[in-house]
Structure 1
Amino acid sequence: MSEIKILTIEHADIYRSLRLKALKNNPEAFSSSYEEEVVLPLSVFEKRLQSTETFIFGAFSDNRLVGTVTLVKESKRKLQHRATIYAMYVSEESRQKGIGKALMVNALEKARNLKTIEQIYLTVVTENNTAKSLYKLLGFQVYALERKALKIDDNYYDEEHMVCFIT
């Protein structure tokens, strides 16, 4: 079983490593690219982990970081009832073990505990049926389809926009 916790600045190096692995192995799942982030200094990742509006959850198995998900609160006054899930990733060797679900459950629980969050958004590539099934199981529903949302080389990927109302 894995342990889920919010990552801190002390996790910056292992977080950076897993993030780069995710971008390299599953480029279609992220709007950022490996090429853009591999050149970023560690301080950029440290800053992400120190934000008061961002919560990056890590899944640890055998003391190794094997998965992450990021919950970002909206800061603008009119949007403070919203948050967005970004950068969901579980390493290939750790999939199909409930780690992704555990990460998402922790992120949703954190959003509920913040009291101001009423709805959570995310996007998912239409071909990622495993992720879509998980999100639907957790109460997310599709509200829009964005055609050709991502372009990697000469390949386009559509994304579904999903929302979960938690109040």
Structure 2
Amino acid sequence: MINFVKVKLEDAEALWHMMNNLDYETKYMLFEAGERKKDFSIIKSRIENVLKYNDFLCLAKDGDKIAGYISAEKGKLKRIEHTAYIVVGVLKEYTDKKIGSEFFKRLDLWAKENHIKRLELTVVCENDIAKHLYEKNGFEIEGIKKKSMYIDKKYVDEYYMAKIFE
């Protein structure tokens, strides 16, 4: 059974391993396979910032194993403090288990509690599965970021997507 929990500092090493595994499973995340430094202090620092600034980092756990995560980092400057940038990752073996949908339900609650008016993300244009998940959860395409990533020896575009709360 999958449990959804807020991140804790003790999760740093397991989260790094999950993210590293994800780098090998998909070409749609920012890091290429083998590019992520094995430095748990980077993850610990991110978790400390989540706790300090009341950002959002939710984990999907299967026992002690992290199956996926969703993070939202609020804008730190006054003019953008109503926004949050989203990153989502779920291991392949856990796809089609409604983890993404549950993540976005919890994200929406956090956004409302924190007076967030705009959630934003980017997604590789050819990543139809993720794009569909985002659209299903109220995100709309706002534009295209041309040649934003270099994958499989070619430049690819990303969609800018956002969800606006009234």
Q: TM-score, normalised by structure 1?
A: 0.90
CA contact (8 A) 2:56 2:71 kept: yes
Residue range with higher mean Cα deviation, 157-166 or 100-109: 100-109
Aligned to 1:162: 161
Deviations 1:21-64 (CA, angstroms, capped at 9, x unpaired) = 1122213x222334442x24111111111113332210012342
Segments of 4+ moved more than 6 angstroms = none
CA contact (8 A) 1:49 1:55 kept: no
1:147 aligned onto 2:146: yes
Percent identical residues: 24
Gapped regions of structure 1 (runs ≥ 5): none
The one-letter code of the counterpart of 2:91 is S
Q: TM-score, normalised by structure 2?
A: 0.91
CA contact (8 A) 2:70 2:89 kept: yes
Aligned to 2:41: 43
CA RMSD of aligned residues (A): 1.5
1:12 aligned onto 2:12: yes
Aligned mates of 2:107, 2:22 — CA distance in 1: 19
CA contact (8 A) 2:123 2:131 kept: yes
Deviation at 1:153?
A: 5.1
**Within-5 A mapping of 1:5-154:** 5-27=5-27, 29-37=28-36, 39-51=37-49, 52-53=52-53, 54-86=55-87, 88-115=88-115, 117-152=116-151, 154=153
Gapped regions of structure 2 (runs ≥ 5): none
